[in-house]
Amino acid sequence: MTKILVGGVGKVDVAERLKEIGGLEVVVTNDMDAATRLMAGQADYYIGTCHTGAGGSLGVLVGLLGAARCFTFGRGQATAAEAAAAVAEGKVAFGFSIDQIDQVVPILAGAIHERRRDG
């Protein structure tokens, strides 16, 4: 199963939304731990949230994984195309603003599922 690490300010809410959607293994953790696990191949994706959609969300991940592997929706909303493109480009760490959790999480989870099915 696809393993998703969740961190940042709204991690409890994001994890709940992901569990409602289902089909993913969700682990609530933090950015430092997530960076270590992603680099070691122990997880597939990281989702972080904060007020800006990048600082507390992505945190050390940009430094450790490189900006090329990280993607921020910023404070804005996500479109399915945007999320699918980011996943297809090989982004593994996603950040967005906590007040967009209800909107972004289903779209992002959808994009990750899609990617999984296509192999």
Partner 1 sequence: MPFALSYTAAADRLDFSLAQSLTVIALCALTALISNMALAVFNDGARPFLLDFIRGNTRRGEMTAVSFGLSAGFVFGLGAPMALSTGVLNPWLLFLPTDILGLLAPRRWLAPILGGAWGAVVVFGLSGANNAAHDLPVDFLTAMQEMATPILFLFLLFPVIAIASQFGRVLGAVAFVVEIAIVVISMKAWPDHFPGALAMAAGVLMLLGFALARDLRNRRAAAAPAPPKPADAPGAARIPLEEKADDKPAADPMASLFGANAERLRRHLPWFALLGAVLAAMVNLHIFGGGEATSFLVPKGDYGEAAQVDFYRAFGFLPLIATTALASGAFQIVGFTFVYPLAYLAPNVAVAAVGGAVLFSVEILALSYIGRGLTMLPSIRDASDHLRNAIGKTLEIAILFGAIAAAAKMGGGLGITLVGGLYLLNEAIGRPIVRLAAGPAAVVVAGIALNVLHWLDLFTPLKG
Q: Quick check: 12 binds partner 1 (CB under 8 A)?
A: yes
Q: Which stretch binds partner 1 (CB under 8 A): 23-31, 82-90, 107-115?
A: 23-31
The single-letter DSSP state of residue 100 is G
Phi, psi dihedral angles at 75 (to 5 degrees): -90, -5
Helices (H), 22-89: 31-39, 55-58, 60-65, 80-88
Q: Quick check: 39 binds partner 1 (CB under 8 A)?
A: yes
Name the token pair of 22.
Answer: 């289902």
Q: Quick check: 107 binds partner 1 (CB under 8 A)?
A: no
Which residues contribute to the site for partner 1 (CB under 8 A)?
Answer: 7-12, 27-33, 35-37, 39-40, 42-43, 50-64, 66-67, 70, 72, 74-77, 95, 98-100, 103
